C-alpha cells in the first residue's frame, strides 16, 4: 500500500476512534426542561380584597393605617385596601364619642360591616392603634377573647390600658386565613352581631 494511502487510512481510522471515544465519555445531554405546570396547580391561594372607607374617621387616620398594615403584613389571603372616593367599601369606619364597636364578620366582598372607633376608650387611656386593629379583626370574623392577655389582639380592653400590642397572634392569624381560605366561594355572610368593646 502506498505510503500516502496508508496515511489516509490511518488518519480515517484515528478520526473514527477519536469520535467514538469522545461520544462515549461526553457528558450526557441535559434533560429537557419540564413543561411548566398548569396555572391552577401552581397558583397560590386566592387573595380576597376588602375595601375600607375611613372618610368619617377623622383623627384616627394614623391608627387605621397602622392597623391595616398590621393585618396586611400578618395574613396572606385577605388584603385591606382604602376605597377610592365614591366607591362602595365593605368596611365602613367612623369616629364616635362612645366605646369602640364593630359588626362581626367575616365580611365578604360586596357585603358591608361597620367599625366605630370610640373616643371614650382613648380618653380612658387605651391605645388608638390597638383599638383600630382590634375592631378590624371583628370585621374579619374574630370575636372577643375576654379575658385575655395583651398578646391576644382580640382580648381588647381586657388587657388593660398599658397594652399597646396591635399584632394578631398565630391563632388569630390562622382563624382569619381559615375564614378566607378558598377565596369567595367558601365565605359565609358576616355574622351581623355588633360587638361593643367596653371593659
Which of the residues are catalytic?
135
91-96 vs 48-56, strand pairing mode:
parallel
Distance of alpha carbon 129 from alpha carbon 197, whole angstroms: 14
Q: Which residues contact 132 (CB under 8 A, 6 or more apart)?
A: 60, 63, 64, 66, 67, 93, 115, 117, 166
- Give the span between the Cα atoms of 190 and 181, in whole angstroms: 15
Q: What are phi and psi of 42, to 5 degrees?
A: -105, -5
Amino acid at each position: 500500500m502506498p505510503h500516502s494511502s496508508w496515511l489516509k487510512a490511518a488518519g480515517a481510522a484515528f478520526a473514527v476512534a477519536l469520535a467514538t471515544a469522545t461520544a462515549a465519555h461526553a457528558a450526557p445531554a441535559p434533560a429537557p426542561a419540564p413543561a411548566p405546570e398548569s396555572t391552577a396547580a401552581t397558583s397560590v391561594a386566592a387573595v380576597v380584597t376588602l375595601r375600607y372607607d375611613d372618610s368619617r374617621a377623622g383623627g384616627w387616620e394614623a391608627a387605621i393605617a397602622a392597623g391595616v398594615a398590621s393585618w396586611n403584613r400578618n395574613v396572606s389571603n385577605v388584603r385591606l385596601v382604602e376605597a377610592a372616593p365614591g366607591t362602595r367599601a365593605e368596611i365602613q369606619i367612623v369616629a364616635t364619642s362612645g366605646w369602640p364597636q364593630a359588626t362581626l364578620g367575616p365580611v365578604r366582598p360586596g357585603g358591608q360591616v361597620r367599625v366605630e372607633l370610640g373616643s371614650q376608650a382613648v380618653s380612658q387611656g387605651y391605645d388608638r392603634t390597638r383599638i383600630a386593629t382590634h375592631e378590624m379583626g371583628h370585621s374579619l370574623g374574630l370575636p372577643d377573647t375576654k379575658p385575655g392577655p395583651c398578646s391576644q389582639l382580640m382580648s381588647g380592653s381586657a388587657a388593660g390600658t398599658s397594652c399597646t400590642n396591635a399584632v394578631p397572634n398565630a391563632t388569630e392569624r390562622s382563624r382569619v386565613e381559615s375564614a378566607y381560605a378558598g377565596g369567595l366561594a367558601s365565605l359565609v355572610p358576616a355574622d351581623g352581631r355588633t360587638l361593643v368593646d367596653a371593659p
